[in-house]
Structure 1
Amino acid sequence: MKIKEFKIYSDKNILKGNHYEANLKNKRNKVILMCHGFAGIQDLFFPKYAEKFSLEGFDVITFDYNGFGKNEGETEIIPSNQIRDISNVILYLKKNEEFRDKQLYLWGTSLGGLYVLKLAATLPGISGVYAQITFSNGIRNNTSLLDFEGKEKYLNQLENIRYKEILENKKLLLPLKRLLSDSQSKVFLEKYKEEFSTLLSTKLSLATISDINELSIDSYLDKINVPVLLLKANNDIVNLPQEMDFIYKVLKCDKKLLEYDCGHYDVYEDDVFLSSIVEQIKWFSKEN
């Protein structure tokens, strides 16, 4: 397997990515563009997916958003900016002689799953979308387990933080372990704290949560007219499985839902990974 690095500019910063070249014996006329989620980087879980896909004859593209991995720019999670990064990579693939005549599929996980679903509804030239453990509505996903009083307290805290930022021009920066404080995220962060120490020491503004709360693709879902494959983790407490059910219900396109009795991060490893990657390859291999 051959991996080639490429770079483009996005928001005037260099954005780097990798092209996993398709196995010539099984080569297909398809490209899979992989988009990671909240504070992720392409080196964390993507290589083993990309290696499987490329072995099966797909060209695979991975990359990091501005400010993450080895890329230039401030390390922030601003959804509109990250969606623009994906759009810029898509434009590169559409115009580059090596890729422009191939079918383009989007692959997104967690927050990246929301991104690719929105792009499938708004951009022409997408042949299909795979989205796993994602959500459709930020505020619904983040507050649906709270009672009325808990929700009011949560929103008030975020509003006070935003107010402090606009009043003093200071951002409250917290490490990932403070932002991702649920039990499943704690286990994940502990497991990879040494291997990806630089990533896990990243500090982000708490106002990032407000930006994610404001995200919604509820009104975009029924506009998607390309095939969609979804994966739901039934025990997910990061992005609730009810959100995946909502997405599946509202979609009007050719759709399929995979379900696994596991937590959010379990989809990347062991039996769930091995089972789901087989299903993904079957789905990407279909002639739509």
Structure 2
Amino acid sequence: MTRIEFYSDGLLLKGIFYKGNEELKKYKTIIMCHGFGGVKELLLPKYAEVFSAEGFDVITFDYRGFGDSEGECRIVPEEQIRDILSAIVFANNLEELKENEIVLWGTSLGGSYALKVSTLCDKVSKVYAQITFSNGFRNNTSHLTEEEINKLKKTMDGLLANEVIKNKSLRVNLKKLLSDKQSLEFLEKYGLEFQGAFNIKLPFTTANNINKFSIDEILKNITVPVLLAQADLDIVNLPSEMEYIYNNLNCDKKLIHIDGGHYDVYEGENFKKLISEQIQWFSK
């Protein structure tokens, strides 16, 4: 493991480089894109350690404003996508990685990012995306009535107006934005170990940014092989969203199912099953 740093839009981003096992060297760099509010120390190391032992070089990093990276703590998909693109440029210019293929690995919100970036950068050779969504608004409002959706829009419009006119931003705890049962159980489980990461406050308009984010229109443009993993009991990012992605891809593709919720992909037999599939897919 080596600590690394690079710039994105002038902001210093911090990351970790896991050097691949030389005896099994694959000449591929896996760039890991974590999800909503994540940091490089949360969940990603267990993957990176397995990948590097199998001969893959791995880069993990914190998006701007999170963890050790510079910037305002907020989630704007377009900004975080530029951070991933900057990570690719960094990897392509690191002497020991410059000959490697680039593989994107994304989980939850990072899965959508990875798919999007594959259409923006011809350096990407493969993508793995798990428990993600294609359309934020469709995913996040499917359980709401029309009246509730209109009320949400009105609230968001008011908050945005306050930001623009009064320079006032309502910031809320992560638990306010990740309030479903599966997410709250996850935050509780890792809360003590990652207090700094979980005690952040984000602009409430973050929800609006996610709702506006969609990759529906670019799925048909993806040409690289894509491996997808769906949690059939996911209530955070709906299984129907994973199926939408799979059905609208025209590239070499595969969809894996696990019998569990959003966070069950990270542990136990599900983790073992999925990472085995990932290693096989990336090794092709």
Normalised to the residue count of structure 1, the TM-score between the two structures is 0.96
- The more displaced of 4-13 and 102-111 is 4-13
CA separation in 1, counterparts of 2:26 and 2:95?
Answer: 16
SS in 1 for 2:12: strand
How do residues 73-112 of structure 1 correspond to structure 2 at under 5 angstroms?
A: 73-112=71-110
Report the residue type matching 1:72 in the other structure. E
SS in 1 for 2:192: coil
Q: CA deviation at 1:11?
A: 2.0
Measured against aligned partners, the alpha-carbon deviations of 1:74-104 in whole angstroms (never above 9, x if no partner) come to: 1111111111111111111122221121111
Measured against aligned partners, the alpha-carbon deviations of 1:164-223 in whole angstroms (never above 9, x if no partner) come to: 222321110000011111111110111111100011110000001111111111111010
- Which residue among 244, 247, 251 is the counterpart of 2:245? 247
- Find the counterpart in structure 1 of residue 162 from structure 2: 164
- Which residue among 12, 16, 19 is the counterpart of 1:18? 16
Q: Aligned-residue CA RMSD in angstroms?
A: 1.0
Report the residue type matching 2:109 in the other structure. L
User: Does 2:263 correspond to 1:261?
Assistant: no
Identical residues among aligned pairs (%): 52
- Find the counterpart in structure 1 of residue 210 from structure 2: 212
CA separation in 1, counterparts of 2:179 and 2:161?
Answer: 23
Count how many residue pairs are aligned between Structure 1 and Structure 2.
284
Measured against aligned partners, the alpha-carbon deviations of 1:2-47 in whole angstroms (never above 9, x if no partner) come to: x011111112221111111111121111111101011000100000
Q: CA deviation at 1:150?
A: 2.0
Which sections of structure 2, spanning at least 5 residues, go unmatched? none
- Find the counterpart in structure 2 of residue 274 from structure 1: 272
Which sections of structure 1, spanning at least 5 residues, go unmatched? none
CA separation in 1, counterparts of 2:49 and 2:120?
Answer: 29
Report the residue type matching 1:244 in the other structure. M
CA separation in 2, counterparts of 1:78 and 1:147?
Answer: 26
User: Does 2:149 correspond to 1:143?
Assistant: no
CA separation in 1, counterparts of 2:79 and 2:263?
Answer: 25
- Find the counterpart in structure 2 of residue 225 from structure 1: 223
SS in 2 for 1:19: strand
- Find the counterpart in structure 1 of residue 125 from structure 2: 127
CA separation in 2, counterparts of 1:149 and 1:26?
Answer: 57
CA separation in 1, counterparts of 2:155 and 2:267?
Answer: 35
- Find the counterpart in structure 1 of residue 194 from structure 2: 196
- The more displaced of 221-230 and 116-125 is 116-125
- Find the counterpart in structure 1 of residue 183 from structure 2: 185
Measured against aligned partners, the alpha-carbon deviations of 1:234-257 in whole angstroms (never above 9, x if no partner) come to: 111111111000000000000000
How do residues 15-54 of structure 1 correspond to structure 2 at under 5 angstroms?
A: 15-54=13-52
Normalised to the residue count of structure 2, the TM-score between the two structures is 0.98
CA separation in 2, counterparts of 1:266 and 1:181?
Answer: 17
CA separation in 1, counterparts of 2:243 and 2:149?
Answer: 22
SS in 2 for 1:127: strand
